[in-house]
Structure 1
């Protein structure tokens, strides 16, 4: 492991930029995974990272040592930082001092959308985006398309909220959502509090693409016009609408419920 002790070290300055600047992350095509859970998930699903960063105290921590040994065995560049320098890079309070530097995946837009997907139109909040990614991965959704105005999916805040979901999804940013919808061979469902059709009344047993919009303004009118259906989530309280991440979770797991029910029905038919 290579120790770095100076704030003037070029590599430390690069790490600081990756931690604090979205522009730097986009330009470098790299980001930081901060914390043991994210690093474990990356190793499990995608393999070894380009670089591993550890604080001096964490280098002997029982949760970190096996991950560190795995990286060293794979000849990953491993850097040790004193506590003060590590904390200057990390955005996690009271965390265990382990970080990976990773390359953000470059995934091409498929010519035709044929599987379950999520389309995000100008979603602003990193926490909402991370929560939606986590729910989408749990529901078995494959693709996530983000419009140019949507928060950067590979920012540290979104990564922390996603809890490893990024490594199970194909996330495509700066996407022309209108073109994706026009080229989709699956039903596209846009959520709208003004829709007459309930999400529970739509057949979700086949793959669908879910379209969610800006936290305050919702889905843009031009995208709403392209959607196959507009659906609403009924609620009994006096609240006007749900948080977009909560709305997405309800939709995804209604789809899971219907598909599970359909699978169980088919199995009973075969057995009967």
Structure 2
């Protein structure tokens, strides 16, 4: 393990930039996984990270010690930081002092959309995005496609909300959703609060692509026009609509229910 004790260390400065700048993370093609749960998930599904950071006060923690033992050989570099320096990198209050620095996937789009998937149009809130990724993974979805206007899927906030879903999903970003939908061989279902057909009236015992939109504006009109079905979730109370993450969970698990019956 290597120790860094100075804020002026060039590597530490680079890490601080990654921790505080979304633009830096996108340019570097790297992001930070904060905390034991995410690091354990990464080890389980993706293997050893390029870089592991640990605060001095966490080195003896049993769960951290186990993770460090798994990262004790190349290709992982383990760096120990004073707790004050580590705290400037972490966005988790009162967390255990462990971070992975990992490469964000650079993926090619599939030739066509042939299996169940989630399409996200201009989703802005990191918490909503992470929650939808978590629901998608739990529902057995493998592919997620995010438009250029959607929040960066590998930001620390989205990663924390996703609770490890990233590591079992294939997440495509900056996707031309219209082009993807035109070439899809599975029906695309768009959610809208301005239609009468409900998700409970559809046969979901087949692969479908779910299209969810912006928190306030919903799915863009041009994408709605390309969807095979526009559906809504019926509700009895006075609220006009559901939060998009709640909407996605209801839709995905209605499909799970139908597939299980």
Deviation at 1:195, TM superposition (A): 1.3
1:206 maps to 2:200:
no
Aligned 1:105-120 pairs, distance under 5 A: 105-120=105-120
Task: Tell me if structure 1 keeps the 8 A contact 2:50–2:75.
Answer: no
Deviation at 1:73, TM superposition (A): 3.4
Deviation at 1:76, TM superposition (A): 1.2
Partner of 2:245: 245
Deviation at 1:74, TM superposition (A): 4.4
Aligned 1:36-185 pairs, distance under 5 A: 36-185=36-185
Q: 1: CA distance between counterparts of 2:225 and 2:6?
A: 56
**TM-score for the superposition, normalised by structure 2:** 0.99
Deviation at 1:196, TM superposition (A): 1.2
Task: Please provide the CA RMSD for this pair.
Answer: 0.7
Q: 1: CA distance between counterparts of 2:244 and 2:156?
A: 20
Per-residue CA deviation, residues 108-156 of structure 1 (Å, 9 max, x unaligned), is 1111110110110000000000000000000000111000010000000
Partner of 1:269: none
Per-residue CA deviation, residues 165-204 of structure 1 (Å, 9 max, x unaligned), is 0001000000000011011100100000011100011110
Partner of 2:27: 27
With 68-77 and 78-87 compared, the bigger mean Cα shift is at 68-77
- Which 5+ residue runs of structure 2 have no aligned equivalent? none
Task: Tell me if structure 1 keeps the 8 A contact 2:120–2:146.
Answer: yes
Q: 2: CA distance between counterparts of 1:205 and 1:11?
A: 51
Secondary structure at the counterpart of residue 219 of structure 1:
coil
1:12 maps to 2:12:
yes
**TM-score for the superposition, normalised by structure 1:** 0.95
Deviation at 1:17, TM superposition (A): 1.1
Task: Tell me if structure 1 keeps the 8 A contact 2:119–2:146.
Answer: yes
- Which 5+ residue runs of structure 1 have no aligned equivalent? 262-272
Partner of 2:234: 234
Secondary structure at the counterpart of residue 89 of structure 1:
coil
Task: Tell me if structure 1 keeps the 8 A contact 2:191–2:211.
Answer: yes
Q: 2: CA distance between counterparts of 1:63 and 1:185?
A: 45
Secondary structure at the counterpart of residue 53 of structure 1:
strand
Q: 2: CA distance between counterparts of 1:212 and 1:170?
A: 17
Segments ≥4 residues shifted beyond 6 Å: none
